[in-house]
A and B are shown apart, each in its own frame.
Chain A
Amino acid sequence: AQRVTQPEKLLSVFKGAPVELKCNYSYSGSPELFWYVQYSRQRLQLLLRHISRESIKGFTADLNKGETSFHLKKPFAQEEDSAMYYCALGASYGKLTFGQGTILTVHP
């Protein structure tokens, strides 16, 4: 069975502070991990995927297979980062299992 856990439903930081959104997964095979984001009044959309090893809007995420984690990080949070963030695990084509989501609020 595959499972994604995001332990924090709510996360608040001040502008300019570092932010880390936690994600842990459970899967016996080789996982594909993703972060999705939903800004206010916008559609849920892909933010980044671990295989790309890319930085999007200053966010990065490293897959740690030993700790089965895929935490999302940004060194200096901006107000426009405020959104709902979902971690997702892909185990077979197209079937993404999402976590419970974390609402990030960045205060001015």
Chain B
Amino acid sequence: DAGVIQSPRHEVTEMGQEVTLRCKPISGHDYLFWYRQTMMRGLELLIYFNNNVPIDDSGMPEDRFSAKMPNASFSTLKIQPSEPRDSAVYFCASSWGTGFTGELFFGEGSRLTVL
């Protein structure tokens, strides 16, 4: 398995543009998480899904952010319109739910720069 796959790895866009980040979790994993990493705030949980259903989106900063998981093998995080303060590394992670082990498997991240 190639692990969690994220795309794009790097995105540079201008303020006001729509940004879509994509994630393919590890096959068989039933939990999917989106995190945002910044130097100031560290790793923040934005939203997580269980069996494609959003469970907790309390970390989503505002209405400009939305996330979907149409099937077990794909999720998107969309920012519309983007702002410079959204510049960060966005991580997707997945895990499987037979007991809480705390082990999340992370993707390589998508580095977003909003000019």
Interface residues, chain A, CB within 8 Å of chain B?
Answer: 6, 9, 32, 34, 43-46, 49, 86, 88, 90, 93-101
Interface residues on B, range: 20 to 34
B interface SS class:
strand
15 A-B residue pairs with Cβ-Cβ distance under 8 Å, sorted by A, are A32-B100, A43-B105, A44-B43, A44-B106, A46-B104, A49-B102, A86-B42, A93-B31, A93-B97, A93-B100, A94-B31, A94-B104, A96-B33, A96-B102, A98-B45
- Whether, in the assembled complex, B14 has its beta carbon less than 8 Å from a beta carbon of chain A, the answer is no
What total count of A-B pairs have CB within 8 Å? Answer: 57
Q: Contact between A88 and B41 (Cβ–Cβ < 8 Å)?
A: no
**Nearest Cβ in chain B — how far from A46, in angstroms?**
5
**Nearest Cβ in chain B — how far from A19, in angstroms?**
19
- Contact among A32, A90, A100 with B42 in the assembled complex (CB-CB below 8 Å): A100
